[in-house]
């Protein structure tokens, strides 16, 4: 299997090259040159998530040096449960993606990416150059990446976050790992952090010296494994009930929901996929009008979805090249902060559940559908545990949210971070200094 750039069909590479490169050299995103078909009859649904994912992804890894290691990579990734549990009657389910170490779905992609890079380094053996993963984060991505690479000493991880603009719990989660993972509190905004990371990637001397790898959501090493939980939930449902399971997916950069669309494109029995967004309405407007109008992001309660220009739209346009096909294939529904608050407040009474603000947007879709008389099977995708957003959730429900054990263990560890000026030159010198010292 080869991968090509969304912008230039002739620009091709292997999967492991795509993983190390991040975006394609022409600025496009890597996509498979063809979509393999997967037979729902033979998907090993009862064998556990690692085995299922190995089967599902083997065609995507065909001919790649990582293929012989795919079993290990999957076993390493799926060390926690991803249950799809019934909610309020027969026809509604919740896909719980928050049982990983940092209590958000990004653990799946981050762990898979870390395992791939580890194997790429091992395969290169003595000739392996040091690899440095560099990320800017407003919270969830950084902690998932930090946790995933914890203790992988052949890989250095550097995380930039805006000082004072992530919650104390999030800051703690970024700084409580082994010495190969370092967190920098940047004296600026998230945009400053992103700009510094972009400048580092654009610096030939740094790229050469450190072999910088991006762990953001456009990386195929994060995107591909996310197909697994949709494949598993939909196929199990289809085998039991003979119907298609429809999904409501909290959406920001469109990485998670795109994985659902890709899983469906392999022929697996997924029903509708609805993109549940917050007040950043670029996707519902695009799918309605056919005009893509990115804008600056708007701050909302579901802050991991505050995206004004979702990167994976470029992959959506590749999968569905014209407006009519896109409209037929996918819809988006948005939710404002007042409704997010209402769903969190009413979650306990209506469903016996405490939703995180992102999942609340997916609940909005469900409730709109049910109000329209839609009685088909729906699955609300729960992207994070409410305990990660205690500052928002606890005042609304009037009681503390119990912290899951993995998160509690992480919060009990000591944490440290280093102060960094919001300046590309300052980042460059700490990178060169700390990575060479570690090598």
Ligand X SMILES: *Cc1c(COP(=O)(O)O)cnc(C)c1O
Q: Which stretch binds ligand X (CB under 6 A): 78-86, 130-138, 250-258, 313-321?
A: 250-258
The yes-or-no answer on residue 106 being catalytic is yes
Q: Which of 32, 175, 225, 252 binds ligand X (CB under 6 A)?
A: 252
Give least dist CB 147 to ligand X, A. 13
**Closest separation between CB of residue 149 and ligand X, Å?**
18
Q: CB neighbours (10 Å) of residue 88? A: 14
* Between 94 and 131, CB nearer to ligand X: 94
Whole-number Å distance between alpha carbons of 109 and 226:
6
Taking CB under 6 A as the rule, which mask of x and - marks residues 23-62 in contact with ligand X? ----------------------------------------
Please identify, among the stretches 253-261, 266-274, 283-291, 409-417, the one whose residues bind ligand X according to the rule CB under 6 A. Answer: 253-261
Position 217 contacts ligand X (CB under 6 A): yes
Strand partners, 331: 274
Nearer to ligand X, 55 or 385 (CB): 385
Residues 82-111 vs ligand X: string with x where CB under 6 A? ----------------------x-x-----
Q: How far separated are the first and last CA of the chain, in Å rounded? A: 34
Q: Decide whether 142 or 269 has the Cβ nearer to ligand X.
A: 142
**Which of 197, 111, 254 lies closest to 420, judged by CA?**
197
Q: Does 254 bind ligand X (CB under 6 A)?
A: yes
Which H/E stretch holds residue 15?
helix 15-21
**CB closer to ligand X, 313 vs 435:** 313
Sole binder of ligand X in the list 132, 248, 251, 354 (CB under 6 A): 251
260 binds ligand X (CB under 6 A): no
Per DSSP bridges, beta strands 378-382 and 418-420 are: unpaired
Q: Which stretch binds ligand X (CB under 6 A): 191-199, 248-256, 368-376, 418-426?
A: 248-256
> What phi-psi label fits residue 191: left (phi over 0), alpha (psi between -120 and 50 degrees) or beta?
alpha
287 vs 33: CA distance, rounded Å: 25
Residue 250 sits in the site that holds ligand X (CB under 6 A): yes
Q: What is the torsion angle, in degrees rounded to the nearest 10, for the CA atoms of residue 30, residue 145, residue 333 and residue 286?
A: -30
Minimum distance of ligand X from residue 322's CB (angstroms): 23
The tokens describing 79, both together, are 């060390």
Q: Check binding of 253 to ligand X (CB under 6 A).
A: yes
127 token code pair? 């000739």
Nearest to 147 by CA among 411, 400, 361: 411
CB-based contact 189:215 (threshold 8 Å): no
- Phi and psi for 268 in degrees, rounded to 5? -70, 155
The nearer residue to ligand X, 210 or 273, going by C-beta atoms, is: 273
Among the listed residues 137, 383, 420, 435, the single contact to ligand X using CB under 6 A: 383
Tell me the C-alpha distance between 189 and 177, whole Å.
23
**Backbone phi and psi for residue 356, each to the nearest 5 degrees, phi listed first:** -80, 160
Residues 337-376 close enough to bind ligand X by CB under 6 A: 358
Q: Which of 106, 119, 388, 428 is catalytic?
A: 106
Q: How far is C-alpha 179 from the geometric centre of its chain's CA atoms?
A: 24
Q: How far is the CB of 319 from ligand X (least distance, A)?
A: 15
213 vs 257, beta carbon nearer ligand X: 257
Count the Cβ atoms, other than its own, within 10 Å of residue 390: 16
Annotated catalytic residues are: 106
Interface with ligand X (CB under 6 A): 104, 106, 140, 217, 250-257, 304-305, 358, 383-384
């Amino acid at each position: 299997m080869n991968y090509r750039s969304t912008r230039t069909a002739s620009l091709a590479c292997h999967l492991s090259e795509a993983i190390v490169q991040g975006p394609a050299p022409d600025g496009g995103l890597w996509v498979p040159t063809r979509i393999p078909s997967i037979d729902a009859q033979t998907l090993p649904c009862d064998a556990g998530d690692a085995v299922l994912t190995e089967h599902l992804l083997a065609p995507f890894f065909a001919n790649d040096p990582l293929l012989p290691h795919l079993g290990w990579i999957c076993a390493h990734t799926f060390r926690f449960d991803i249950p799809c549990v019934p909610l309020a009657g027969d026809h509604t389910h919740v896909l719980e993606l928050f049982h990983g170490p940092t209590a958000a779905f990004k653990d799946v992609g981050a762990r898979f990416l870390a395992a791939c890079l580890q194997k790429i380094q091992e395969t290169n053996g003595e000739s392996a150059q040091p690899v440095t993963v560099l990320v800017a984060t407003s919270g969830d991505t950084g902690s998932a990446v930090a946790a995933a690479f914890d203790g992988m000493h052949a890989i250095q991880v550097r995380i930039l976050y805006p000082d004072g603009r992530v919650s104390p719990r999030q800051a703690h989660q970024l700084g409580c790992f082994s010495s190969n993972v370092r967190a920098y509190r940047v004296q600026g905004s998230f945009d400053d952090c992103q700009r510094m990371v972009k400048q580092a990637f654009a610096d030939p001397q740094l790229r050469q010296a450190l072999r910088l790898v991006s762990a953001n959501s456009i990386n195929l090493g994060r995107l591909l494994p996310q197909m697994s939980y949709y494949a598993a939930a939909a196929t199990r449902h289809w085998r039991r009930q003979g119907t298609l399971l429809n999904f409501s997916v909290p959406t920001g950069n469109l990485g998670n929901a795109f994985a659902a669309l890709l899983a469906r494109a392999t022929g697996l029995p997924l029903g509708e996929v609805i993109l549940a967004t917050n007040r950043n309405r670029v996707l519902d407007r695009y799918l309605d009008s056919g005009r893509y109008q990115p804008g600056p992001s708007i701050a909302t309660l579901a802050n991991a979805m505050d995206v004004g220009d979702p990167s994976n739209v470029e992959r959506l346009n590749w999968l569905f090249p014209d407006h009519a096909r896109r409209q037929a294939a996918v819809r988006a529904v948005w939710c404002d902060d007042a409704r997010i608050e209402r769903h969190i407040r009413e979650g306990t009474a209506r469903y016996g559940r405490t939703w995180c603000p992102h999942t609340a947007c997916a609940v909005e879709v469900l409730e709109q559908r049910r109000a329209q008389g839609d009685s088909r099977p729906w699955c609300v995708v729960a992207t994070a545990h409410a305990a990660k957003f205690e500052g928002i959730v606890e005042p609304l429900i009037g009681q503390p949210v119990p912290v899951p054990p993995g998160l509690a263990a992480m919060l009990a560890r000591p944490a440290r971070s280093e102060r960094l000026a919001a300046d590309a030159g300052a980042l460059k010198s700490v990178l060169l200094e700390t990575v060479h010292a570690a090598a």
